[in-house]
Structure 1
Amino acid sequence: MEMKRILVGFHFWPVRSMQSWSYTPLMGGDKEKVLRDFNFDVIFSKERAILITRLWRDFHSLYMLMNDQKNDSTFFAAQARNWFNLFLTPHQGEPNTLSFKKGLYHPLNVTPYIHVLINHIPEFIELHQRFGFAAFSCAAVEKKTMTKYLSSLGKQ
């Protein structure tokens, strides 16, 4: 219902042959709408929704900064580090007690993309900002990898 509210077409459906679920991929502007506008209050407690909303909105801000040709690499580095610290918000208190507050993610959840965002994008901004980030897109490589994967499953 929330995806409908923000005007994003998104659906899940079962894939019986693989005993799993598939979903509509979010492309371009739809990703941005979800990062910017999704209301987490509809699925989480108020306190948890605030934390997750901040994580997504701050990531959206980083995304916008990456695409801003007037962006300062030092400012971006500080904002990226702040976002990363939020991403790694630890649990607080004793589990299964009323005082327990669930954190967000653990260091093991850090992906190569997050590593690049925190440790290399500020340098890319400093050195290559005039090219824009579209020049560094991994979309073509990811598409080729997915096509190869699907063909290995006999899906292509």
Structure 2
Amino acid sequence: MGDDKLNVLKNFNLNRILLSSKARKIWELWNMFYQLYLNLKSKDYNEDWLELFLTSDRAIPNSTRIEKGLYKLSAITLYIYVLVYHMAEFMEKYNRWSVKAFSCASVEKKNHQQVTNFFRQTLKDGGSKKKLAIIEIFKYKNRALFYLFDNVEISISKPKKVNIF
């Protein structure tokens, strides 16, 4: 993962899939992000990365062409906001931890599991009783925890496979 991501950032040829002007901007964005990543422990960086991230479309003078920007303001997630405006403060305050301590991977994984349960095992806000999906998800999770912590054996046996040639 870690070094592989760095190799992708360093060696991926964006010109093969994007216009050269867009590829150049994205390379600059990636390079500035990498610099931001390296400088997280100090307050030595500024918000230039965010400004580049929010590059808007611009009309080319004396032309009918428009140079596409990168992202709109609506693309800023809470993660990006915290990274740019608060991460240096967190690193200074909690310097005994590394950047990995601020990962939200476990929260994202839990969200993925809940969404999967929603689409696989709930009535999706439907059914005859019109229960809210979130209530169905919580009930499912409570049942799963009950079976896990109370060592309740499930009485349903697995179906046997039959091969027919």
**TM-score between both structures, scaled by the size of structure 1:** 0.66
Cα-Cα RMSD: 2.0
Q: Partner of 1:84 in structure 2?
A: 50
- Larger relative contact order (CA 8 Å, sep ≥ 6): 1
Distance 1:100 1:58 in 2: 24
In the superposition, relative to structure 1, how do residues 120 and 88 fare at CA in structure 2: closer, same or farther (>3 Å)?
Answer: same
2:9 counterpart of 1:35: yes
**Structure 1 residue matching 2:56: 3-state secondary structure:** coil
Q: How many Å apart are 1:139 and its aligned residue?
A: 1.0
- Correspondence 1:147 to 2:125: no
Q: What SS does the aligned partner of 1:44 have? A: coil
Q: Structure 1 residue 28: deviation in Å?
A: 3.8
Q: Work out whether residues 89 and 104 of structure 1, in 8 Å CA contact, stay in contact via their aligned partners in 2.
A: yes
**Which consecutive residues of structure 1, in runs of 5 or more, have no partner in the other structure?**
1-26
Aligned equivalent of 2:85, options 99, 113, 119? 119
Tell me how many residue pairs correspond in the alignment: 119
Aligned-residue identity in percent: 37
| 1:28 to 1:148, Cα distance in 2 relative to 1, 3 A | farther
Write out per-residue CA displacement over residues 113-137 of structure 1, whole angstroms, 9 at most, x where no aligned residue. 1111111112112211221122222
Q: 1:138 aligns with which of 104, 115, 121?
A: 104
Q: Does 1:102 align with 2:68?
A: yes
Which of the two has higher C-alpha Rg? 2
1:60 aligned to 2:26?
A: no
Q: Which runs of 5+ in 2 are unaligned?
A: 122-165
1:93 to 59, 69, 75: 59
C-alpha separation between the residues in 1 aligned to 2:7 and 2:91?
Answer: 24
Aligned mates of 1:65, 1:34 — CA distance in 2: 20
Deviation of residue 30 (structure 1)? 3.5
Quick check: 1:39–1:53 contact (8 Å CA) kept in 2?
Answer: no
TM-score normalised according to structure 2 size: 0.63
Could you tell me whether the CA contact under 8 Å between 2:50 and 2:84 is conserved in 1? yes
1-structure distance, mates of 2:4, 2:115: 25
C-alpha contact (below 8 Å) 2:32/2:49 kept by paired residues: yes
Distance in 1, matches of 2:39 and 2:8, equals 17
Give yes or no for the alignment of 1:46 onto 2:12: no
Cα displacement string for residues 26-53 of structure 1 (whole angstroms, at most 9, x for unaligned residues): x444333323321111112222211111
User: Between Structure 1 and Structure 2, which shows a larger proportion of helix residues?
Assistant: 1
